[in-house]
Structure 1
């Protein structure tokens, strides 16, 4: 298999599997409520913990990938992720759920983006935006296919067997994906189109752009983590069947394909800052429809618009980091920016669950996400246009 094609395949398969299963967790919330009587605050809290660990471990996995390459990192974390879902099929107490999310699932989440996208950035320097978008289509495909599959497995075999099946399949797929991944050869990394230049991590963190990107991620990620987790159960609250509610996640996935590809292509032409602005516009509009609309049709419309921004955001970060700081320490810098996002994002799901348990509605939670998105847009507008000549070969 051609080296570049193999890397794209491995990155896509990693994204498909990890995010497809992550999106499916919302389908299991009703089953856990019915069997154990657990609140949505409790059930959202384990996701909060996983998202926090995702950010923390992204910094570690980014550095490990820079040093040892992507294959070994993704093999270990991928098997861990699949094992986590297998173990989840046997839970009987909340602490077990929290432990699984904090360890096994946190490991997989912590490596899937920073390792795959940093590797893609090194292989495809001249087409970094569009290739990042193409890889993130794997994420969208997982969002489309896996949640309805999970709903069908639950309906046919029960939630325990559904989790067992999904976990075994995930471990196998993620190991295959890891074996396809590798760093570019020396000849590729010294190609004129992909010079190994850029800031060291210590230099990057002294810049305003570094902290602005981190704060922007902190403000936007609560929407990207909260809506996919709660929208399916929100749909069931307003009368949707579980399979129909699962297709809300598929709607996000379909729309996000357009977001990933279009924004990925645009980044190579208009730059990451303007790509962020396009994504925020879609996110804010989608949240407005979600807050104001109460019909099934309005909910699908909201997810279509939101999904475009959702997909674009997961494409824009890695190329933007490369624009501002180069590739020398891309994994470490990208992982740290993601950590800022997951700190903010980890708060969103549990606060939304708490708001629902307190008020019986998601109105305040979704409105809070809208305010944070507006603040994030303001930060992006304050970013300077990156100057490629200002990124030194070594700092």
Structure 2
């Protein structure tokens, strides 16, 4: 479910930039805004659906998410104006991605609390499959059916494949009474949540630039869409292993330290993408970057879980992740707007890397603030 739904919402539109631009005549920033509206919807839905999931249960919200995503893609295939696409993707983000993302990861952590980092890393690897696979699949579908036909196929696949899977979702059993109480967060939530929210905004503003614009940037060097999609797929295949590895790293050294490592590599890697111009160069570096940056979202999820109290985790994680999707929306649109202004992607990737530096400063602040409590916890253990 994470692969197909989140893979479509987060960066699945990257394969559609050039064909929509060619057939509809819209500028690239206007097309990128379709994705940004979807992520704005995801940010809105992340807050609201955190409360809903606590009351309706994981199976119900997953059925809602899958149904809405499939129907919205079918509607997209018949839309003929930008405002229609903006509205459709906003609804898909709010009621599909918002219903799925935070509740699914919260459920995974609840089922396996002793190894939540590794469990969330494995689930996040499924999303990485989609973020690489959906653009690659879309490139082939667009070549055969056009961009509207590709949307029809994707919507149908989501409904046929994911509705049965959603019926198998179950909430974790409640912990036994008298069991070991969960430790209090290392920083009080009133301080941690604003810093977290700002950090994930800049972190995802950096991440969004290659996720949304690497494929069209490669196509700008006269490399076919299917081969450019292959680079994305290779990058996110490497990210599968990376997300699992970083999930284990979260359990070993702590999620904030893992986040700092992944963010440092991501920030440097985004800027490095501008130094390549050949398919082989992009492919080799994309594999390296895919593993390096992969732990960012895993570490963010595990950190948010560790720094929010269990009684309010759904709502607080939803709030933090809302800023992550706002950052994605900004980063994706910024990349396209900068391209429209300059005619290349150099400035867009540089701005994305600068956002990564701001994220690193905020992660360092969280590490400093949390150190006394974390040190005391290790000594008592």
Aligned length: 372
Deviations 1:19-57 (A, max 9, x none): 332333111112211111111010011111111111111
- CA 1:282–1:191 in 2, change beyond 3 Å: closer, same or farther? farther
Task: Specify whether residues 315 and 250 from structure 1 end up closer, same or farther in structure 2 by C-alpha distance, changes over 3 A only.
Answer: same
* TM-score between both structures, scaled by the size of structure 2: 0.91
- Equivalent residue number for residue 146 of structure 1: 134
Residue range with higher mean Cα deviation, 121-130 or 279-288: 279-288
Structure 1 residue matching 2:179: 3-state secondary structure: coil
Greater Cα offset, 278-287 or 360-369? 278-287
Distance 1:255 1:132 in 2: 17
Cα-Cα RMSD: 2.2
Question: Compared with structure 1, are the counterparts of its residues 189 and 345 closer, same or farther at alpha carbon in structure 2 (3 Å cutoff)?
Answer: farther
SS of 1:100 mapped into structure 2: helix
In the alignment, does 2:272 pair up with 1:289? yes
Structure 1, 22-31 or 77-86: larger mean CA deviation: 22-31
- In structure 2, which of residues 70, 88, 91 is the aligned counterpart of residue 100 of structure 1? 88
Tell me, what secondary structure is at the counterpart of 1:92?
coil
Report whether the alignment pairs 1:371 with 2:354.
yes
1:385 equivalent to 2:373? Answer no
| Inter-partner Cα distance in structure 1 for 2:161 and 2:207 | 25
In structure 1, what is the Cα distance between the partners aligned to 2:176 and 2:94?
30
Give the secondary-structure state (helix, strand or coil) at the position aligned to 1:284. helix
TM superposition shift of 1:191: 7.8
TM-score if structure 1 supplies the norm length? 0.88
- Equivalence for 2:190: 206
Partner of 1:133: 121
Once the two structures are TM-superposed, the CA of residue 285 in structure 1 deviates from its matched residue by 2.6
Closer, same or farther: CA 127–354 of 1 in aligned 2, 3 Å: same
Whether contact under 8 Å (2:28, 2:340) holds in the other structure is yes
The equivalent of 1:192 in structure 2 is: 179
Contact 1:132 1:315 in 2 (8 A): yes
* Alpha carbons 2:118, 2:244 under 8 Å: kept: yes
5+ unaligned residues in a row in structure 1: which ranges?
A: 1-13
Q: Does 1:18 align with 2:5?
A: yes
In structure 1, distance between residues paired with 2:178 and 2:343: 58
Deviation (angstroms), 1:184: 1.4
Distance 2:50 2:177 in 1: 21
Look up the SS of the partner of 2:113 in the other structure.
coil
Change (3 A) 1:33 1:124: same
**How far off its partner does 1:137 sit?**
1.3
Q: Which runs of 5+ in 2 are unaligned?
A: none
Q: What residue is the counterpart of 1:5 in the other structure?
A: none
Aligned-partner Cα distance in 1 for 2:178–2:228: 48
Distance apart, 1:103 and its partner CA: 0.9
Give the deviation of 1:389 after TM superposition.
10
